């Protein structure tokens, strides 16, 4: 019963009330409905409050109003470079409405995600689940209890924000076609990924329109390592350019090509996806923007709209992407490149935080 069992107790509303010679209610109103009180009373109370370092207790307020002022954001892997910009944007959007945000790391496990959501449920007004690992069923169950917004997960009936790579990928195809490429490769990501399906379809469609030959090479997991590993398959197709599922894979491919003396972009062109590495690589990577920050902002904004009881119903927001041309694309060489020397074993540890973010 006794709260805090001696731990440092923050000043309460009663403390303020006592030294101000008023009742709890008055102090409460001074903070929530100042207009209802005398101007000098409000001033005095606020003065006293700040002098003794009083801050309204978020928890107690939540209990009586049902407005927790908190939202939860759950991602599979905080360290996956896809997410930090999204998290940052979502956090700042929530902050604009004075919401605090819980961050959950599901560690790519649906059990963990389920546990987190349950823990969050009773102290948040709503949640944003990114690339959720839960079943549609569980998601629906949770959505019954609290407003829920999904990112890169398409469950009918649940508001969701999706990054549609189609446009960006189409731009990439057009870009390569314009440069004179005739045969390209799509290095695919996880089959279960919604993003991967989008991208592959867009590649196929774009290639048909531009009369390009297209090969598909599968990289089971999107990572530096697996990109590096599939380079022989890529070269075997005889293509002169590749579009990779994501930047990490593209990066691995670049390394694998360099290992074989194939230079980028002179001998081979590469396009990534997600713009996760920025211009940090050399040569800097041509890639498809993912606008993950806008995604984060949009998802949080959508959630806050729902909380503001502005009905949102079955929202399905898609964000377009665009091509970011940097320095890994150029006209094809006269002859398609071929392996010059045998591939060395992979020496370099994979980058942390890889995996299928989307």
Partner DNA sequence: GATTGACGTGCAACCGGTTGCATTCGATAG
Partner DNA sequence: CTATCGAATGCAACCGGTTGCACGTCAATC
Comparing CB distances to a second copy, the nearer of 59 and 209 is 59
Instruction: Return the residues of window 219-258 that contact DNA according to CB under 7 A.
Output: none
Site string for a second copy, 104-123 (x = CB under 8 A): xx-x----x---x-xxxxxx
Task: Indicate which of a second copy, DNA, none lies near residue 318 (CB less than 5 to 8 Å, by partner kind).
Answer: none
Name every residue whose Cβ is closer than 8 Å to that of residue 349 and which is 6 or more positions away in sequence.
none
Examine residue 52 and tell whether it contacts DNA (CB under 7 A): no
Outline where the chain has alpha helix (H): 13-20, 24-32, 39-51, 58-65, 83-96, 110-121, 136-145, 166-179, 194-209, 224-229, 231-236, 247-259, 292-307
Scanning the structure block, which residue is given the tokens 């396009």?
271
Instruction: Return the residues of window 270-299 that contact a second copy according to CB under 8 A.
Output: 277-282, 284, 293
- Tell me the closest approach of the beta carbon of residue 100 to a second copy, in angstroms: 5
Q: How many residues bind a second copy (CB under 8 A)?
A: 76
Comparing CB distances to DNA, the nearer of 39 and 144 is 39
- Tell me the closest approach of the beta carbon of residue 20 to DNA, in angstroms: 8
Q: Find the helix or strand (DSSP H, E) in which 108 lies.
A: none
Instruction: Return the residues of window 230-269 that contact a second copy according to CB under 8 A.
Output: 248, 251, 254-255, 258
Spatial contact of 264 and 328, defined as CB atoms under 8 Å apart: yes
- Tell me the closest approach of the beta carbon of residue 62 to DNA, in angstroms: 8
Distance CA 231, CA 252 (A): 9
Examine residue 10 and tell whether it contacts a second copy (CB under 8 A): yes
Examine residue 344 and tell whether it contacts a second copy (CB under 8 A): no
* Coil, helix or strand at residue 347: coil
Distance CA 285, CA 201 (A): 22
Q: How many residues would you count in the chain? A: 358
By CB under 7 A, name the binding residues for DNA: 1-4, 9-10, 12-14, 21-26, 28-29, 31-33, 36-39, 41, 54, 56-57, 60-61, 63-66, 122
């Amino acid at each position: 019963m006794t709260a805090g069992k001696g731990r440092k107790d923050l000043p309460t509303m009663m403390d303020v009330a006592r030294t101000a010679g008023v009742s709890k209610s008055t102090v409460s109103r001074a903070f929530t409905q100042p207009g209802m009180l005398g101007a000098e009373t409000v001033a005095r109370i606020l003065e006293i409050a700040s002098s003794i370092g009083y801050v309204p207790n978020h928890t107690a307020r939540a209990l009586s109003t049902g407005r927790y002022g908190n939202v939860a954001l759950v991602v599979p892997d905080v360290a996956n470079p896809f997410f930090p910009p999204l998290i940052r944007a979502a956090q700042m959007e929530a902050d604009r409405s004075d919401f605090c945000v819980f961050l959950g790391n599901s560690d790519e496990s649906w059990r963990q995600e389920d546990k987190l959501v349950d823990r969050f449920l009773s102290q948040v007004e709503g949640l944003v689940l990114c690339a959720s690992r839960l079943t549609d069923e569980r998601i629906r169950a949770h959505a019954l209890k609290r407003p829920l917004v999904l990112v890169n997960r398409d469950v009918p009936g649940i508001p969701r924000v999706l990054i549609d790579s189609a446009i960006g990928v189409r731009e990439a195809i057009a870009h390569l076609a314009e440069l004179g490429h005739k045969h390209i490769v799509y290095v695919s990501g996880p089959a279960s990924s919604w993003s991967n399906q989008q991208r592959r379809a867009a590649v196929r469609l774009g290639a048909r329109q531009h009369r390009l030959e297209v090969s598909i090479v599968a990289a089971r997991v999107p990572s530096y390592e697996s990109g590096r590993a599939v380079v022989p398959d890529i070269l075997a197709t005889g293509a002169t350019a590749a579009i990779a599922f994501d930047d990490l894979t593209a990066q691995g491919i670049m390394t694998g090509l360099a290992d074989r003396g194939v230079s980028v972009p002179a001998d081979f062109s590469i396009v990534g996806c997600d713009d996760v590495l920025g211009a940090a690589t050399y040569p800097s990577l041509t890639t498809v923007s993912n606008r993950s920050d806008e995604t984060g902002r949009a998802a949080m904004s959508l959630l806050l709209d729902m909380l503001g009881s502005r009905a949102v119903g079955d929202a399905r927001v898609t964000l377009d992407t665009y091509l970011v041309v940097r320095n890994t694309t150029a006209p094809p060489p006269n002859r398609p490149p071929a392996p010059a020397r045998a591939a060395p074993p992979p020496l370099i540890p994979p980058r942390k935080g890889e995996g299928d973010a989307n």
